[in-house]
């Protein structure tokens, strides 16, 4: 990931795009989102839950199109259009709130591109945030991006 940044408070943060996928609070680094549009022509886009390998839990029509891109130089400029259901938010996530996947979960989970977890605090509530990374080091994952595109 390349979107780690220092803000004025010297706290490292990762800017992420926040959305719901498969009924779960999910996020992608903002640097991996090329564009977002409310384009009605969404036929060429894939529901993001499907991209991640989740079960879809919504059939809402109001959807936005998000262009996901790989930022890995040697991977070229692969990108895919995905559908997400609003609300969509931009969030600066403190690095200290981001955790690698626990080893047993990493070994057994089957979601595509799930790379980390975060605890998202909103007022009194704490919820789990699934952090996906379109940037993958494995050639298999890169070919998956090409296959989806």
Partner 1 sequence: MSDTELDKVLTQRHEANQTIVNVEEATIKLVVFELAQQGFAFHSESIREVLGHATVFFVPGCPASLEGVINVRGDIESVILLNNLLHLPTSASNPQAPILLGRGKEVSSGIRVDHVIDVIDVVESSIQPPPSTQAEYMQGLVSGLLHFQDRPITLLDLDQIFADYARGLG
Binding site for partner 1 (CB under 8 A): 22-24, 52-55, 99, 102-105, 107-111, 114, 117, 119, 126-128, 130
Burial bucket for residue 100 (CB in 10 Å: 0-12, 13-18, 19+): exposed
Task: Output phi, psi for 136, to 5 deg.
Answer: -130, 150
53: left (phi over 0), alpha (psi -120 to 50) or beta: left
Strand blocks (E) in the chain: 4-6, 12-21, 24-29, 33-37, 46-47, 64-69, 79-94, 98-100, 114-122, 125-132
Distance CA 37, CA 63 (A): 9
Distance CA 129, CA 108 (A): 18
């Amino acid at each position: 990931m390349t979107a780690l940044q220092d803000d004025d408070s010297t706290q490292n943060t990762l800017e992420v795009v926040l959305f719901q996928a498969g009924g779960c609070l999910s996020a992608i680094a903002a640097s991996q989102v090329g564009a977002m549009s409310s384009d009605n022509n969404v036929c060429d886009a894939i529901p993001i839950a499907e991209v991640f390998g989740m079960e879809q839990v919504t059939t809402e029509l109001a959807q936005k199109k998000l262009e996901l891109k790989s930022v890995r130089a040697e991977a070229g400029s692969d990108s895919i259009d995905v559908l997400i259901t609003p609300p969509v938010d931009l969030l600066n996530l403190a690095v200290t709130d981001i955790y690698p996947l626990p080893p047993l979960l990493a070994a057994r989970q089957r979601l595509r591109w799930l790379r980390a977890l975060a605890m998202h605090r909103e007022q009194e509530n704490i919820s789990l945030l699934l952090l996906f990374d379109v940037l993958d080091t494995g050639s298999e994952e890169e070919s998956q991006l090409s296959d989806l595109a």
